[in-house]
Amino acid sequence: MLGISTKSYLHKGEIAGYAQRIRDIAQASKWLGKGTYVGLALDVGVAGLEIKEACVQGREAQCRRAKYVETGKLAGGVAGAYWGGKVGARIARLGCKVFLGVAAKGNGDLACAVIGGAAGGYAGGNVFGTGGAFLGGQIEEIDGDLIFQPEGA
């Protein structure tokens, strides 16, 4: 299962190396998990500050528009980053297997997945965030009702 022969274990003590590798992967996973929540909190904070900046005295129209645009941007960015990260990690792992010619094991497989996930999350967050901001900008409030007004309508 671990690919360690009895002879190798007796002469080199490879189990200690695997234990250290597992500890390193667990530590990296812990920090990546916490980084996700920090990034999400920063995105929410930025959206709130953008709305607050637009909602100064006497700018009701800009305030109303900023609420929809920034909310759409936040929702699209978070959803896009999630799906982009999942797809990017899978594609990168597959790419490492195809282009490197061998299935990466341990840290190599993890590195491919992390790099691909980060790139996919960044790209997906930007694309879907821009799309969400565009769609949010198309919403208008008329007589208390929210109405989606596509371009040219």
User: What pLDDT is recorded for position 53?
Assistant: 84
- Report how far residue 104's alpha carbon sits from residue 102's, in angstroms, rounded to the nearest whole number: 6
* Each residue's pLDDT tens digit, 87-116: 998 998 888 877 765 655 656 777 788 888
- Report how far residue 153's alpha carbon sits from residue 142's, in angstroms, rounded to the nearest whole number: 15
CA-to-CA separations, 13 to 6, 16, 25, in angstroms, rounded: 10, 6, 20
CB atoms inside a 10 Å sphere around CB 105:
10
Return mean pLDDT, the chain. 77
pLDDT of residue 120 exceeding 50, the answer is yes
- Report how far residue 85's alpha carbon sits from residue 125's, in angstroms, rounded to the nearest whole number: 9
pTM strictly above 0.75: no
Q: Is residue 1 part of a domain?
A: no
Q: How many domains does the chain have?
A: 1
Q: Is residue 153 part of a domain?
A: no
Q: Is residue 102 part of a domain?
A: yes
* Each residue's pLDDT tens digit, 79-89: 999 999 999 98
Select the more confidently predicted residue: 36 or 135.
135
How would residue 1 be classed by pLDDT, with cut points 50, 70 and 90? very low
Contact present, 64 and 141 (Cβ < 8 Å): yes
Report the run of H or E that residue 146 belongs to, with start and end.
strand 145-148
Q: Is residue 26 part of a domain?
A: yes
User: What pLDDT is recorded for position 147?
Assistant: 63
pLDDT of residue 152 exceeding 60, the answer is no
User: What pLDDT is recorded for position 83?
Assistant: 93
Q: Which domain holds residue 64?
A: 9-148
Q: Is residue 2 part of a domain?
A: no
